[in-house]
Amino acid sequence: MRIVLKIGGSLVFPEKIDVELVKNVSKQIISLSKNHEFLIVVGGGKIAREYIGALKSIGKDDTFLDYIGMEVAKLNASLFMGALGENAPVEISNDFKHALTTLNLGKIPLLGGTHPGHTTDAVSSMLSEFVGADLFLRFTNVDGVYDKDPRKYQDAKKLSKITHEKLLEIVEGTKAEAGVNTVIDPLAAKILKRSNIKTIVCGKEELSNIKSVIEGKHKGTEIF
Ligand SMILES: Nc1ncnc2c1ncn2[C@@H]1O[C@H](COP(=O)(O)OP(=O)(O)O)[C@@H](O)[C@H]1O
Ligand SMILES: [Mg+2]
């Protein structure tokens, strides 16, 4: 299978860089690459939000803030350059064509942000579409998609299987601005829907067994 793997910036860099997570994920990906092709996207997370918050308070515009978020995400993605060893590309891909070329050269493409105006969730969905991915795997700081934000609503319910239409309905109201916390942003949900890309959203714990998740054994949310 061809798989786009998105790892939330909040997992790679919660309070400080989670080196063990980076090493562990890389090891699994190298091993799973015998049977699958992977492309990895990493988000901006806490550090991006710090910079975005600071620059916003100084009065910078949204497009500028997006550029900062993109750079931090690329910095987070570059952590995997070390751990992927000889499977790592020599540079982070700034666009989808570069990522596909990198994949065709036998390396594991790494991406952060690619363009202002959308999040790395949207990057992941466009990449999935562009490379014809069989599966989009999204690992985040929540264990699946809920009917509403579980951080805000105590009675939020986790959904184990939903359609792309339902996902879009859930996330439609989320704001499209730099640093926002969304399980999948609305633009990403639209792209996943239009290309009917099978998607799985899982929490951090399951990142320790990516093989099981690919095989459908997980506690997260499947979107079809
Ligand atoms: N319907 C929803 N289901 C699950 N999480 C949601 C939902 N709506 C908003 N969220 C929020 O999205 C957060 C995940 O996004 P974010 O913090 O940006 O993580 P990441 O670093 O993985 O991108 C969750 O912690 C949760 O509070
Ligand atoms: Mg996010």
pLDDT tens string 108-167: 999 999 999 999 999 999 999 999 999 999 999 999 999 999 999 999 999 999 999 999
145 lines ligand 1 (CB under 6 A): yes
- Probe ligand 1: pick from 6, 7, 124, 149, max atoms within 8 Å of CB? 149
Question: Atom 11 (ligand 1): residue with closest C-alpha?
Answer: 182
The confidence score (pLDDT) of residue 49 equals 94
Q: Going by CATH, does the domain composed of 2-223 fall within 3.40.50.970?
A: no
Which atom of ligand 1 is closest in space to residue 6's alpha carbon? 22
Tally Cβ neighbours within 10 Å of residue 27: 13
The answer to whether the beta carbons of residues 111 and 38 sit under 8 Å apart is no
Beta strand 110-111 pairing with 161-162: unpaired
Tokens matching residue 209: 């067994």
CA of 151, closest atom in ligand 1: 27
Give how far the C-alpha of residue 86 lies from the chain's centroid of Cα atoms, to the nearest Å: 23
Look at residue 154 in the predicted model and tell me its pLDDT.
95
Chain centre to alpha carbon of residue 203: 12
Q: How far apart are CA 217 and CA 204, in angstroms?
A: 15
Q: Does the Cβ of 149 fall within 6 Å of ligand 1?
A: yes
Mutate to test the pocket of ligand 1, among 181, 200, 207, 219 (most ligand atoms within 8 A of CB): 181
The average pLDDT across 190-216 equals 97
Q: How far is the CA of 31 from the centre of ligand 2 (A)?
A: 27
pTM of the full structure: 0.96
